[in-house]
Each structure stands twice: as structure tokens, then as C-alpha cells.
């Protein structure tokens, strides 16, 4: 596993867990200040965050769900997962580019089809792509 933190940017990549244990958890406390860039890349695990404040970010996982309670971003933020549901609570996103296969999309309590775009030319667009999972954005 590597964790890089050059100039308020964080990248997490790698495998550190023993596959023989049933439940394994890695908790990372983030600085209160805004990050320039956040990148998380993992497989076979869920990702959750209470509050993320970033200029730009990307989360990529396979076989795991993603749950972000509060997302504040200045530029684009990308979330990509297969075999997992994505939930984003509060966000300041001005635009959305959402896509799922074998799932459904709910934005602000309203059901959408398997694709939803809104104001995609905005500066801070939230892009979410998942296979075999649902997308919820409030």
C-alpha cells in the first residue's frame, strides 16, 4: 500500500489486508483543510467518508459500495465502481453525469433512468459510473 501526500494531495493504492480475516477495516483521518486532489483505488472493499472537501478527486473500486455523506468539490469528482451501489448525500455539484447498468438512479428523491445528465459543462461536475449497482444522489 502507498499513501502519498505531496502538496495537500492524497493517493491511496494497494492491498494491505489479509484475505483470511472476515472483516478488515482501514480508517484514515483526513486533514480539515481542503485537499487539492484525492485518489482512492481499491478492489473488494467498501469505501465510506463522512466529509470530503477537495478541489478534484477520483474514487475507483471493484466489488464494493461507495458512501459519501458530504462532498464539497471545486472541480470534477469521478466515482467508478463495479458490483456496488454509490450513495452521495449532500454535495455542491453544479452538474451530474451519472450512469449505471443493471441498476437505477435516484437524484434528489426522484427516480431517473439508467443514465442522467444535468449541466455537464459546469466546473464542478459529479461523474458516477457503476455496473450492477444503484446510484443515489441527494
Residue 88 has pLDDT above 90, yes or no: yes
pTM score > 0.75 for this model? yes
Domain definitions of the chain by residue range: 2-17+33-137
26 touches 16 (CB < 8 A): yes
Bridge partner residues of 9 (DSSP): 37
Residue 85 has pLDDT above 90, yes or no: yes
CB-based contacts of 72, cutoff 8 Å, min separation 6 = 34, 51, 52, 53, 54, 91, 92
Looking up cell 452538474 gives 95
What local confidence, expressed as pLDDT, does residue 34 receive?
77
At 9, the pLDDT band (50, 70, 90 cuts) reads low
Amino acid at each position: 500500500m502507498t499513501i502519498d501526500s505531496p502538496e495537500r494531495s492524497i493517493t491511496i493504492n494497494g492491498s494491505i489486508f489479509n484475505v483470511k480475516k472476515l472483516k478488515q477495516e482501514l480508517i484514515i483521518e483526513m486533514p480539515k483543510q481542503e485537499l487539492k486532489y484525492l485518489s482512492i483505488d481499491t478492489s473488494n472493499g467498501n469505501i465510506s467518508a463522512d466529509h470530503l472537501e477537495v478541489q478534484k478527486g477520483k474514487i475507483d473500486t471493484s466489488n464494493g459500495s461507495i458512501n459519501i455523506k458530504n462532498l464539497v468539490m471545486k472541480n470534477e469528482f469521478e466515482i467508478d465502481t463495479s458490483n456496488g451501489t454509490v450513495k452521495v448525500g449532500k454535495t455542491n455539484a453544479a452538474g451530474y453525469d451519472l450512469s449505471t447498468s443493471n441498476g437505477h438512479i435516484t437524484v434528489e428523491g426522484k427516480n431517473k433512468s439508467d443514465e442522467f445528465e444535468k449541466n455537464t459543462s459546469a466546473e464542478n461536475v459529479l461523474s458516477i459510473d457503476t455496473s450492477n449497482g444503484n446510484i443515489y444522489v441527494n
